Amino acid sequence: MRSFSGRQVLSDISLTVPQGHITCLLGPSGCGKSTLLRLIAGVDRPDGGRIELNGEPIADDGIFVQPENRHIGFMFQDYALFPHLSVRDNLAFGLKHLDRAARAQRIDEIAGRIGITALLPRFPHSLSGGEQQRVALARALAPQPGILLMDEPFSNLDRGLRERVRRDTTELLHQLGTTAIIVTHDPEEALAIGDMIVLMRDGKIEQQGTPFDIYDRPRSAYAAEFMGPCNRLVGIWRHGEIETPIGRFAGTLDLPEGSPALACIRPQALSVEADGAGISARIVSKTFIGESEQIEVSVHPLFKPLRMHSHERIPMGVGEKVSLRLNGAQIHIFEDGALPLAASEGVRAGPPRS
């Protein structure tokens, strides 16, 4: 647990990080993920609870192991390289316990693994963003920590560079068998690099599991919508299905008959074809985004258009009537009210037609 000025920032956190894997703490700003990282690192103290490393307590009642004695590496969002030290001396900073020969050997070894040997004589101000990121990673890994903590390590990089550095970093951590916890607010990034994802909300864990668990089997509308865009349709729960204006969809809810329920429909669950059989709809917008088209279609009696993604070129233009089809693969059913409407960009529907 952790509170600031009487406000509970973390509560009811129960988490086991698998050894040799990458765990992503995911969530919006202010959800507590960076605070949790700081508690693990020891740069902040919990108000209650217990933190263990390899089965030994490092924070508990009457126990608090100082950060320098936890054998934990920490890579900051801004990299925090010492500007007055060369890259070699930055890497040497955490190796003062080694003699000179062992220190030099370790620096050369980690620099070679990360591919920064040519940068060792240079100073941080002369490095690009990607080079600074790799130096910061090397400095964090040089002492061979038992666990590596990384706070938004790729957020300062441009998109193309970020994807390449992220891929290289992930491959290196897996090659080294490093146990890592990475904080990110980007669900796409978490899905790409995490062996396990811990989705946080308001200081608590909303859901944790593999990327496939979180994306394919979300346990709440919050989880479904955070991991990717959804169309939201409110309907009525009857006979194990939700009835909506565009069809009935089976679920596993334990709700009284006639209760309101919520269907979260991913854009890729929708497709359109020439007007004919299917649900009558009309294209209201088409946006070309390179690898796919984002299309919005209006369907009576929905108050807002449905959004779909297509990797095929749709010949029908804006204003044309089409038939809407659903593949059913990416439709998630929840109790209505699982997520406040103010947090949604989806669809509110009228009552089902008889």
Is 352's pLDDT higher than 70? no
CA separation for the pair 105, 88 (Å, rounded) = 11
pLDDT in tens, 108-123: 999 999 999 999 999 9
- The region of weakest confidence among 41-55, 122-136, 157-171, 326-340 is 326-340
pLDDT in tens, 122-145: 999 999 989 999 999 999 999 999
Confidence of residue 341 (pLDDT cuts 50, 70, 90): very low
Q: Which residue has the tokens 């508990």?
A: 60
The answer to whether 103 and 92 have CB atoms below 8 angstroms apart is: yes
Total domains in the chain come to 2
Q: Of 181, 216, 251, which residue constitutes the final position of a domain?
A: 216
Please give the average per-residue pLDDT across 344-350, as a whole number.
Answer: 35
Q: For position 322, what pLDDT does the model report? A: 94
| Of the candidates 40, 74, 75, the residue with the CA atom closest to the CA atom of residue 153 | 75
Q: Of 176, 196, 216, which residue constitutes the final position of a domain?
A: 216
Q: For position 340, what pLDDT does the model report? A: 39
Residue 232 within a domain: yes
Please give the average per-residue pLDDT across 34-56, as a whole number.
Answer: 93
The answer to whether 37 and 149 have CB atoms below 8 angstroms apart is: yes
The answer to whether 179 and 147 have CB atoms below 8 angstroms apart is: yes
Residue 350 within a domain: no
Residue 349 within a domain: no
Residue 354 within a domain: no
Please give the average per-residue pLDDT across 319-331, as a whole number.
Answer: 87
The answer to whether 269 and 347 have CB atoms below 8 angstroms apart is: no
Helix (H, G, I), strand (E, B) or coil at 317: coil
Return the half-sphere exposure (C-beta side, CA atoms, 13 A cut-off) of residue 67. Answer: 14
Residue 26 sits in the same domain as residue 107 = yes
Q: Whole-prediction pTM value?
A: 0.89
Q: For position 11, what pLDDT does the model report? A: 93
Is 346's pLDDT higher than 60? no
Residue 25 sits in the same domain as residue 49 = yes
Residue 189 sits in the same domain as residue 265 = no
CA separation for the pair 44, 36 (Å, rounded) = 9
The answer to whether 157 and 133 have CB atoms below 8 angstroms apart is: yes
Confidence of residue 342 (pLDDT cuts 50, 70, 90): very low
Please give the average per-residue pLDDT across 328-344, as a whole number.
Answer: 64
Residue 202 sits in the same domain as residue 62 = yes
Residue 234 sits in the same domain as residue 200 = no
Residue 154 sits in the same domain as residue 293 = no
DSSP H or E segment with residue 41: helix 33-41
Q: For position 339, what pLDDT does the model report? A: 43
Residue 105 sits in the same domain as residue 178 = yes
Q: For position 337, what pLDDT does the model report? A: 60
Residue 46 sits in the same domain as residue 192 = yes
Q: Of 216, 247, 281, which residue constitutes the final position of a domain?
A: 216
Residue 58 sits in the same domain as residue 114 = yes
CATH number (domain holding residue 247):
2.40.50.140
With a pLDDT cut of 90, the percent of the chain lying above it is 75
The answer to whether 127 and 135 have CB atoms below 8 angstroms apart is: yes
**C-beta neighbour count of 342 within 10 angstroms:** 5
Q: How high is the mean pLDDT of the chain?
A: 90
| Of the candidates 78, 152, 75, 141, the residue with the CA atom closest to the CA atom of residue 113 | 141
Asked if the peptide bond before residue 301 counts as cis, ω within 30 degrees of 0, the response is: yes
Is 344's pLDDT higher than 50? no
- The region of weakest confidence among 64-73, 184-193, 325-334 is 325-334
CATH number (domain holding residue 175):
3.40.50.300
The answer to whether 58 and 65 have CB atoms below 8 angstroms apart is: yes
Residue 222 within a domain: no
CA separation for the pair 258, 239 (Å, rounded) = 9
Residue 207 within a domain: yes
Confidence of residue 87 (pLDDT cuts 50, 70, 90): very high
Range of the domain at 179: 2-216
Residue 191 sits in the same domain as residue 45 = yes
Is 168's pLDDT higher than 70? yes
Instruction: Quote the crossing angle between the two packed helices 159-176 and 100-114, to the nearest 10°.
Output: 130
Q: For position 348, what pLDDT does the model report? A: 36
Residue 353 within a domain: no
Q: For position 182, what pLDDT does the model report? A: 97
pLDDT in tens, 174-223: 999 999 999 999 999 999 999 999 999 999 999 999 999 999 999 999 99
Is 353's pLDDT higher than 80? no
| Count of helix runs (H) and strand runs (E) in the chain | 8, 21
Residue 75 sits in the same domain as residue 105 = yes
CA dihedral 51, 52, 53, 56 (to 10 degrees): 140
Q: Which residues pair with 232 in a beta bridge?
A: 264
Residue 194 sits in the same domain as residue 320 = no
* DSSP letter, residue 351: P
Q: For position 350, what pLDDT does the model report? A: 37
Residue 173 within a domain: yes
